[in-house]
Structure 1
Amino acid sequence: MLVHVNHCLLLWYVCIVWMVLGVRIDTLQDNRIDAVDVRDIVVTSAVFLAWVGLTLWLYRWAARPPSRRSLVRQARQTLTALANGFEPEPTSSAPFGSLMTARGARAAVYPRFVAPGVEFGNLRRDGRPVRTWRYAAVALPAPLPHFVLDSSEARGGDVPRGVERGQRLSLEGDFDRWFRLHVPSEYQTDALFVFTPDLMAALIDDARSWNVELVDDRVVFFAPGDADFSDEDVWRAIEALFARVVPLIAERSARYLDERVASQTPEARVAAMTAAMAKGISPVRLEPRIDPHGRRLHVRRRNAVLSAIGAVGWFLALVFLYVVPGLFAFAGFMSVVDGR
């Protein structure tokens, strides 16, 4: 970022210098170059060359390899992951869909540690503004409706911005002090089946600093900001999620069936078992599914007109920062060249 800011300032410096010289020589002095103009050209050129030298140093500084301390920290987190059965697998794209990754947004994950059905790390989502998250995601035995827990301690990001207020559900006890639960319409009873008192207690004890999203057959814990995975406390926080919170969610997932799906109603299941027994075959295991109304919360998407205005504004800003000074610098330079 510093390199780009420097390039922009350098370009505007050239623009101002040559425009001032061009106006003075071409307009005020009727295309006549005096000794003071030669002096100013020499001085400003010397400043320009010195600035170019500093720019080259800044470029080399920005491209320098990580420091020894940074390398040690990276090695420590990698060795810790390998010792606990996780492989380091950074990626330049979002590994799954969630409110954290946002639809259509580009994302990069580093570091990212992976084991079968499990991953965690730091995710950087591009956009305006750029967002960074620390996260942990675990595959579940079966899908659940789209539930989102907005943590009181983890707020500071944009989750779950746009979720309609009618999807809020209040739970018993003081759970609402720690989390705001969002559920799809008509899935309030299903949420009570999933969020039992023992799971709510585990969430408050071990996950209160995380937002929690149950989406498809995955549970995602995430919070704003990066995590330093060379720190022992970060690993213990991840371990607490995997050891004490995830098993309870997985147990609810394995037992849950969405009876809004016709093939998963009690009557349909009894009929399927009866037909299988009549044919002398074992009943086929039911593949759990979620009704389309429960797969995703209703989230207000950003207005397309506002997105278009933002894109046009960004383009015009780049034109103003780079193209405009370049054109004026060239015009001023040509005015000086035409002088006598």
Structure 2
Amino acid sequence: MELRWLTAPEHEVAAAMADERRSGRSKWAPTGRSVLFHLYFSLVLWYLAIALVSVGVSVDEYHDRRVEADDVVGLIVAMLVLIGLLVGAWLLYRWSRRPPSPKARLAEWRRHLTAVANGFEEEPKGRAMFSSLITTTGKYNNAFITVPGPQVQSHPRFVGDRVEFGNLVDDVKRSRDWHYLTVRLPAPLPHLLLDATTNDTVRSDLPPGLDRGLRISLEGDFDRWFRVYAPSGYGTDARYVLTPDVMSSLVSTAAYYNVEMVDDRVVFFSKPAADFAYAAPWVAIDAILTDLVPRLITRAERYRDERVAGQDAESVLEAARDAMEAEQVWTRKETVVGEEGRRLTVRARFHAIWVAVGAVSWLVTRTLLYFIPAAFAFAGFMSVVDGR
């Protein structure tokens, strides 16, 4: 990969970005400043609610629904304080909209120029754009259900021809951040999962819920590097895909990544999020793309699930022979993986329940921040109006 922009002089980076005529930062990208602004503004709203409710209670309970002089004074003082708080909110809003610091901006420019130099586009998204164990909640009719959620961001996200990589960032819990690489294969494979042992802490870093009874053992010392899981009855198929040269390449180029093969996609992922302003993640991705991925593409092109009618060797030979006899060009049918091999067993209770809890918590949080104080503020205002 071309990595010179990661270490190029600052003036060269700035000049190159001027030629690009756009910033490397996405407008939607969350920042600590914007979070601070929302928190401050919600506190202002709560202050307004408490002030108006207090005056309303004074009018209704102590002054027999009449606005007295001390109520007017209290209301005026509350409004003056509110004006000061709103001025502070405006200043904080302007501060939150300021561009990032020169250091952060330079890092984003380096990252952006490196992506462009290597044929990738920077396209951040507010959710995960692929289905995998790290982006889903479980299984429904043998298909993953992707739950984007307001807290998950794909930033940065780099996209090329059949390739995507970047970070999956969870704003709620940073320990769930991942950096990843995903590649589209020419044909589907059985659902295989390789849990790297080198990135474990006290336990595996995989999300919970995987049926550990599906683990298989491969020859050599590969089990020291990866724990391999395959659907029940697909151990032989896993060995067909994970040939000795593929296993050797996995150990040499992707030992720190968990690997998932699902449908026509292979996903490499590891914690934590990577800093793409430095060379290390680019070098790791380049090694996987140039050495390992071509081997997996070859295996995907040749793989056939003989459990599916018409894909066994005898049926394929018969179809080819019939085409030759009819003097027609024979083309192999599109590969289909059997129903039992499409998904590993994942106990959805660990995922679906907590995602539902997270969604409800997000709704409750927004209600507490905005709706409830707004309702109290309106009730207090109406009490004052009724007492005029």
Task: Tell me, yes or no, if the aligned pair for 2:175 and 2:272 is still in contact at 8 Å.
Answer: no
Alignment-derived partner of residue 276 in structure 2 = 229
- Structure 1: distance between partners of 2:354 and 2:165: 33
Q: Determine which of 100, 107, 120 is the counterpart of 2:165.
A: 120
Task: Tell me, yes or no, if the aligned pair for 1:18 and 1:333 is still in contact at 8 Å.
Answer: yes
CA spacing shift, 1:316–1:239, aligned 2, 3 Å: closer
RMSD: 3.4
CA spacing shift, 1:307–1:243, aligned 2, 3 Å: closer
1:87 aligns with 2:121: yes
Secondary structure, in 3 states, of the residue corresponding to 1:222? strand
- Structure 2: distance between partners of 1:18 and 1:28: 15
CA drift at 1:30: 3.9
List alignment gaps of at least 5 residues for structure 1: none
| Amino acid across the alignment from 1:133 | W
1:193 aligns with 2:231: no
Task: Tell me, yes or no, if the aligned pair for 1:101 and 1:125 is still in contact at 8 Å.
Answer: no
- Share of identical aligned residues, percent? 47
CA drift at 1:162: 2.6
Alignment-derived partner of residue 275 in structure 1 = 322
Secondary structure, in 3 states, of the residue corresponding to 2:146? coil
Q: In the TM superposition, what whole-angstrom CA distance separates every residue of 1:4-61 from its partner, at most 9, and x where no partner exists?
A: 2222211221222222333234323445666655554444333222111111111112
Q: Determine which of 173, 180, 185 is the counterpart of 1:135.
A: 180
CA spacing shift, 1:31–1:242, aligned 2, 3 Å: same
TM-score by length of structure 1 reads 0.83
CA drift at 1:100: 3.2
| Amino acid across the alignment from 2:146 | G
Task: Tell me, yes or no, if the aligned pair for 1:105 and 1:125 is still in contact at 8 Å.
Answer: no
Range moving further from structure 2, 149-158 or 37-46 = 149-158
List alignment gaps of at least 5 residues for structure 2: 1-34, 137-144
| Amino acid across the alignment from 1:234 | P
CA spacing shift, 1:286–1:305, aligned 2, 3 Å: closer
Alignment-derived partner of residue 146 in structure 2 = 104
- Structure 1: distance between partners of 2:55 and 2:373: 15
Alignment-derived partner of residue 307 in structure 2 = 260
Q: Which aligned pairs between 1:50-69 and structure 2 lie closer than 5 A?
A: 50-69=84-103
Q: In the TM superposition, what whole-angstrom CA distance separates every residue of 1:259-291 from its partner, at most 9, and x where no partner exists?
A: 112212122123223323433445433433222
CA drift at 1:198: 3.7
- Structure 1: distance between partners of 2:39 and 2:104: 25
- Structure 2: distance between partners of 1:24 and 1:267: 89
Task: Tell me, yes or no, if the aligned pair for 1:155 and 1:224 is still in contact at 8 Å.
Answer: no
Range moving further from structure 2, 310-319 or 67-76 = 310-319
CA spacing shift, 1:310–1:120, aligned 2, 3 Å: closer
Secondary structure, in 3 states, of the residue corresponding to 2:310? helix
1:332 aligns with 2:380: yes
CA spacing shift, 1:266–1:93, aligned 2, 3 Å: same
- Structure 2: distance between partners of 1:93 and 1:266: 42
TM-score by length of structure 2 reads 0.74
Range moving further from structure 2, 80-89 or 207-216 = 80-89
CA spacing shift, 1:51–1:250, aligned 2, 3 Å: same
1:291 aligns with 2:338: yes
Task: Tell me, yes or no, if the aligned pair for 2:209 and 2:348 is still in contact at 8 Å.
Answer: yes
Task: Tell me, yes or no, if the aligned pair for 1:257 and 1:289 is still in contact at 8 Å.
Answer: yes
Task: Tell me, yes or no, if the aligned pair for 2:276 and 2:282 is still in contact at 8 Å.
Answer: yes
CA drift at 1:160: 4.2
Q: In the TM superposition, what whole-angstrom CA distance separates every residue of 1:94-143 from its partner, at most 9, and x where no partner exists?
A: 44332333223236544333332323223457999996432212232432
Task: Tell me, yes or no, if the aligned pair for 1:87 and 1:114 is still in contact at 8 Å.
Answer: yes
Alignment-derived partner of residue 208 in structure 1 = 255
CA drift at 1:236: 0.7
Q: Determine which of 158, 168, 182 is the counterpart of 2:229.
A: 182
1:247 aligns with 2:281: no
Alignment-derived partner of residue 167 in structure 1 = 214
Range moving further from structure 2, 140-149 or 306-315 = 306-315
- Structure 1: distance between partners of 2:213 and 2:230: 9
- Structure 2: distance between partners of 1:308 and 1:234: 33
Range moving further from structure 2, 161-170 or 308-317 = 308-317
Secondary structure, in 3 states, of the residue corresponding to 2:269? strand
CA drift at 1:211: 1.9
| Amino acid across the alignment from 2:331 | V
CA drift at 1:177: 4.4
Secondary structure, in 3 states, of the residue corresponding to 2:273? coil
Secondary structure, in 3 states, of the residue corresponding to 1:144? strand
Secondary structure, in 3 states, of the residue corresponding to 2:92? helix
CA drift at 1:147: 0.8
CA spacing shift, 1:21–1:162, aligned 2, 3 Å: same
Equivalent residues, number = 340
Range moving further from structure 2, 139-148 or 39-48 = 39-48
CA spacing shift, 1:100–1:313, aligned 2, 3 Å: closer
Q: Determine which of 322, 326, 330 is the counterpart of 2:370.
A: 322
Range moving further from structure 2, 178-187 or 20-29 = 20-29
- Structure 2: distance between partners of 1:112 and 1:208: 22
| Amino acid across the alignment from 1:210 | Y
CA spacing shift, 1:72–1:100, aligned 2, 3 Å: same
CA drift at 1:314: 4.8
